[in-house]
């Protein structure tokens, strides 16, 4: 991280904007917002050096609520926007936020390639196993027999997408899982994710009170990961495949080459024009 990015001490609330969230009461996304502001305060990041990028969904509203630069993009395309910004402006701390539908369905291809490209980005996916903003349809992480959506009255009948397994297979260099009901643990993971040089993927279990009230149970189901973070992808794969999807903590972290163009100008357009002269 750039020294210029370090700010005088600010408190978490100084990183909140004055836009009021549209989220339903009790939504897990509030806790994510709070963890983001705490992590920024902990890292003493200068607000103007932070850019929050998102796609579309309830979760993707997050940038407007943080007092930093932000881009609220279109559905599924947060990662490309963030990648372009980081490629052009390596000096910024770029944090991407979105939902499971945004990130794994419409944006699935970008997720794979962002993992492979390993740019220095932090990607927070607020996973509530449902499309919140469009009022309760199945998402890629929804269980096959969840039959409450009018679009899939018999359930999806499809195996759910395993975000951590796919991130690992696609080459992500940092994979962690947090829980909205564990704000301290979540803030810590966020700090580590932001500090990680490379693509840091953080799946956050973030309950949807409105369309998945049964997710209130998550607070009883989550548990700390019983494995120390590994840098061995084979070991990590074994663990992630056996995991019940509720293990919290840093699962895998590895130093891999970070993709970042860093070209210094050595020519001007007028120099290039010479190649065309007869």
Ligand X SMILES: Cc1ncc(C[n+]2csc(CCOP(=O)(O)OP(=O)(O)O)c2C)c(N)n1
Note the residues at the interface with another protein (CB under 8 A). 17, 19, 46-49, 51-53, 56, 61, 63-64, 67-74, 76-77, 79-89, 91-92, 109-110, 112-113, 261, 263-269, 271-273, 276-278
Instruction: Supply the DSSP symbol for 16.
Output: B
202 binds, among ligand X, another protein, none (CB under 5 to 8 A by kind): none
Give the DSSP H or E segment for 221: helix 218-221
Shortest distance in whole angstroms from residue 144 CB to another protein: 28
73 contacts: CB under 8 Å, gap ≥ 6: 53, 54, 55, 56, 60, 81
- Our CB check for another protein shows the closer of 157 and 265 to be 265
226 binds, among another protein, ligand X, none (CB under 5 to 8 A by kind): none
Give the DSSP H or E segment for 237: helix 233-242
- Our CB check for another protein shows the closer of 70 and 160 to be 70
- The encoded tokens of residue 151 equal 């679009």
The C-alpha atoms of residue 175 and residue 160 are separated, in whole angstroms, by: 18
- The encoded tokens of residue 196 equal 């990680």
The C-alpha atoms of residue 196 and residue 223 are separated, in whole angstroms, by: 24
- The encoded tokens of residue 146 equal 């969840």
Shortest distance in whole angstroms from residue 178 CB to ligand X: 15
- What is the maximum alpha-carbon separation in the chain? 76
Give the DSSP H or E segment for 189: helix 183-195
99 binds, among ligand X, another protein, none (CB under 5 to 8 A by kind): ligand X
Question: Using CB under 6 A as the criterion, which residues of the chain lie in contact with ligand X when the complex forms?
Answer: 56-59, 75, 98-102, 126, 128, 130-134, 139
Instruction: Supply the DSSP symbol for 159.
Output: P
- Our CB check for another protein shows the closer of 5 and 209 to be 5
- Our CB check for another protein shows the closer of 170 and 246 to be 170
- Our CB check for another protein shows the closer of 92 and 204 to be 92
134 binds, among ligand X, another protein, none (CB under 5 to 8 A by kind): ligand X
């Amino acid at each position: 991280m750039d020294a210029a990015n370090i700010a005088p001490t600010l408190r978490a609330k100084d990183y909140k904007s004055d836009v009021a969230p549209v989220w339903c009461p009790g939504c897990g996304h509030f806790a994510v917002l709070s963890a983001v502001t705490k992590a920024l305060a902990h890292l003493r990041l200068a607000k103007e050096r932070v850019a929050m990028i998102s796609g579309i969904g309830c979760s993707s509203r997050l940038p407007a609520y943080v007092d930093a630069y932000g881009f609220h993009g279109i559905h599924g395309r947060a990662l490309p926007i963030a990648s372009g910004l980081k490629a052009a402006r390596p000096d910024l701390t770029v944090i991407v936020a979105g939902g499971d539908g945004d990130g794994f369905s419409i944006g699935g291809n970008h997720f794979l390639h962002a993992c492979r490209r390993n740019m220095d980005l932090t990607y927070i996916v607020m996973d509530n196993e449902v499309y919140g903003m469009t009022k309760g349809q199945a998402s890629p992480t929804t269980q096959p027999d969840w039959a409450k959506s009018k679009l899939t009255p018999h359930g999806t009948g499809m195996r759910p997408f395993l975000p951590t397994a796919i991130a690992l297979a696609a080459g992500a260099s940092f994979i962690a899982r947090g829980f909205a009901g564990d704000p301290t643990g979540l803030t810590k993971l966020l700090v580590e994710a932001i500090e990680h040089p490379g693509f840091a993927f953080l799946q956050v279990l973030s309950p949807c009170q409105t369309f998945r009230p049964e997710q209130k149970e998550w607070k009883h189901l989550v548990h700390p990961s019983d494995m120390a973070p590994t840098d061995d992808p084979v070991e990590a794969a074994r663990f992630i495949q056996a995991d019940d999807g509720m293990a919290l903590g840093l699962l895998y972290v590895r130093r891999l080459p970070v993709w970042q163009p860093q070209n210094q100008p050595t020519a001007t357009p007028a120099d290039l024009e010479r190649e065309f002269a007869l």
